[in-house]
Amino acid sequence: MKRNEFIKMTGLSAGTILTGTAFTGLLSGLSSCKKGHGMNTKPVIVNEGSFTKLLAFPAQAGANHTLTAQVTRTTVSGFTIPVLGYQQNNLLGPTFRVNKGDAVNILLQNNLSEHTNVHWHGLKIPALMDGHPDQIATAGGTFRYQFTINQRAGLSWYHPHPHEHTGKQVFQGLAGMFLINDAEEAALNLPSGAYELPLVLQDKRITSGGIPYNPGEEEVMAGFMGETMLVNGVDSPYTEVATRYYRLRILNGSNARVYNLAFSNNADMIIIGNDGGLLKNPVTVKDILIAPGERLDVLVNFAGLSIGTDVYLTSKEFSNGGDAQGKQGFKIMKFKVAVSASDSFTPPATLSVIPTLTAASAVKTRTFNISNEMEHRGMRMEMTHRINGKQYDGSRIDEFVSANTNEVWVFDNSKGDEPHPMHLHGVFFQVLQRSGGRNQLTAAENGWKDTVLVMPGETVRVLVPFENNTGKFVFHCHNLEHEDDGMMLQYQLS
């Protein structure tokens, strides 16, 4: 039984009379539900700002750096408030730019009053450096991350990953981008410098006292969402652009909100990359869904627009996102056409060579039920966020995987009523098939992925090439409230 069906079934206003054992059983069932379950969810409406604040970009860092997790202060939505940050007076940490082959040496200094760590989301690095929930820096302590970049160019990111604290620490400010460059990408001569715009999209709740994080029952169910849209830590910003091509490097750094990105003038978005870097060929769309943890590499052309024209990056309404997602269209940021420019750039027809993997190459298929239906527990109805009925247990290995083999992993949300962006640590995969719901792959699901959105009613099959990066990794829903609620398991690669 789905949660919404259970809610309808137990609505006392419907004239149901419960007495004796039935009434006691209902109360017992409701009280047994962990925080976040057994209630209808509703959308959190975004309040558009004035789009008069200039877009900012985090400072850049190289392969050697110290990240200090700290309480600091910054100005957001007119309030100077306490936030969490990896650098003083900023919500976001620095944007790392490194090259393939670089040796990375980053020291995490934890100046928080609670433990934390850093997960390098999208980096194929040793298990002990990945930011597993049991690899932490205690309050006042440190953790040194040392690894070599041995993967193709792409946009990754970093954020804390301490179990049951991830949602809070990310929502209150701890996150940042991690960009890798290589010779293949450089040869394409894509827009760069002032014409390459890294954009971190996040929704926050902003008050005069800070960024509160206190999810109630509905908000653990749906995910914690905010009324204020930030891009690179700036609420409802604008940036000036010239009449030419730009490259937008977009990260959905939100805890739970899914965006359906589009431009207000119906401009083409030319997708050239995703989580794992460049696609084989560009794909042109008018809109595209991006879930928490996912990344997009997009070309947009402002040529032909008159000086003074305002174009907005928006999120359009979308269907089948559950009760809390996709119910509102809103503006995210403004592009103000300010300069005429000549531009000889033409999007290349071919971007990269990517081998196509097939299910026939898989030595094993694993199916993961992520529908999270209400279940009978004796006299009670109980629900928590689970995978295959299991909640995260750091002392338990859930899946044992052989190195240097291909596997098919199936994420089954066919009976679910919430979106689940599923993320695997330590690997990239190719999406083979989506059945139910949208019933097809999206334009951004070609090439290599590390996070895939599984909407209600959908089942998604992915092909995972497990190489020789042995050790213990987690996989989980990247709705951070779902993750903290236990929707995470471990696999051991050996």
Q: Are strands 196-204 and 245-252 parallel, antiparallel or unpaired?
A: parallel
Distances (CA, A) of 114 to 39, 145, 325: 31, 19, 32
Do 64 and 182 belong to one domain?
Answer: yes
Q: Are residues 173 and 75 in the same domain?
A: yes
In a domain, 85, yes or no: yes
Q: How many domains, in total, are found in the chain?
A: 3
Beta strand ranges found along 11-88 (DSSP E): 53-54, 60-61, 64-76, 79-85
Same domain for 246 and 182: no
The residues facing 410 across adjacent strands are 367, 461
* Single residue among 152, 186, 220 that ends a domain in this structure: 186
Choose the final residue of a domain: 306, 339, 372: 339
Q: Higher pLDDT residue, 24 or 313? A: 313
pLDDT of amino acid 23: 38
Report the SS3 class of residue 79.
Answer: strand
Cα 451 to Cα 487: distance, rounded to the nearest angstrom: 15
Judge if 155 and 243 occupy the same domain. no
SS3 category, 22:
helix
Average pLDDT on 163-182 reads 98
Q: From 169, 186, 203, give the residue that closes a domain.
A: 186
Domain contains 156: yes
Q: Is residue 378 located within the same domain as residue 473? A: yes
Rounded distance, CA 416 to CA 387, Å? 12
Report the pLDDT value the prediction gives residue 383, as an integer from 0 to 100: 63
291 inside domain:
yes
Q: Under a CB-based contact definition with an 8 Å cutoff, are residues 212 and 205 in contact?
A: yes
Residues 322 and 254 both lie in one domain: yes
Asked whether the predicted pLDDT for residue 456 surpasses 50, the reply is: yes
Rounded to whole angstroms, the Cα distance separating 30 from 440 reads 37
Amino acid in the structure at residue 157: W
Q: Is 321 inside any structural domain? A: yes
Please indicate, yes or no, if residue 296 is contained in any of the structural domains.
yes
Domain that holds residue 113: 56-186
Query: Would you say residue 21 lies in a domain?
Result: no
Q: Can you tell me the distance from the alpha carbon of 72 to that of 173, in angstroms, rounded to the nearest whole number? A: 10
Mean pLDDT, residues 368-385 taken together: 71
pLDDT per position as a tens digit, 243-266: 999 999 999 999 999 999 999 999
Question: Any idea what the Cα angle at residue 212 is, between residues 209 and 214, rounded to 5°?
Answer: 145
DSSP state at residue 449: B
Q: Residue 444 and residue 466: Cα distance in Å, rounded?
A: 22
Residue 96 contacts residue 67 (beta carbons within 8 Å): no
Q: Are 380 and 32 in contact (CB under 8 A)?
A: yes
Is residue 17 situated within a structural domain?
A: no
111 alpha carbon, distance to own chain's centre: 25
Looking at the predicted structure, is the pLDDT value of residue 5 above 80? no
Q: Classify 431 as helix, strand or coil.
A: strand
Q: Is the pLDDT of residue 1 over 50?
A: no
Specify the CATH number for the domain of residue 302: 2.60.40.420
CA angle (49 as vertex; 43, 53 as ends), nearest 5: 140
What average pLDDT does the segment 86-91 reach?
Answer: 95
pLDDT band at 191 (very low <50, low <70, confident <90, very high): very high
Confidence grade of residue 381 (pLDDT, cut at 50, 70, 90): low
Distance CA 409, CA 12 (A): 41
Instruction: Kindly state whether residues 489 and 369 are assigned to the same domain.
Output: yes
Q: Are residues 173 and 208 in the same domain?
A: no
In this structure, the answer to whether residues 177 and 213 fall within a common structural domain is: no
Tell me: pLDDT of 33 over 80: no
More confident call, 34 vs 338: 338
**211 in the same domain as 231:** yes
Kindly state the helix (H) or strand (E) to which residue 452 belongs, with its residue range. strand 451-454
**Contact criterion met (CB below 8 Å) for 324 and 44:** yes
Check whether residue 376 and residue 449 sit in a common domain: yes
Sign of the Cα pseudo-torsion (168, 458, 447, 443, in order): negative
Are residues 149 and 62 both part of a single domain?
yes
In terms of Cβ atoms closer than 10 Å to its own Cβ (0-12, 13-18, 19+), residue 346 is exposed
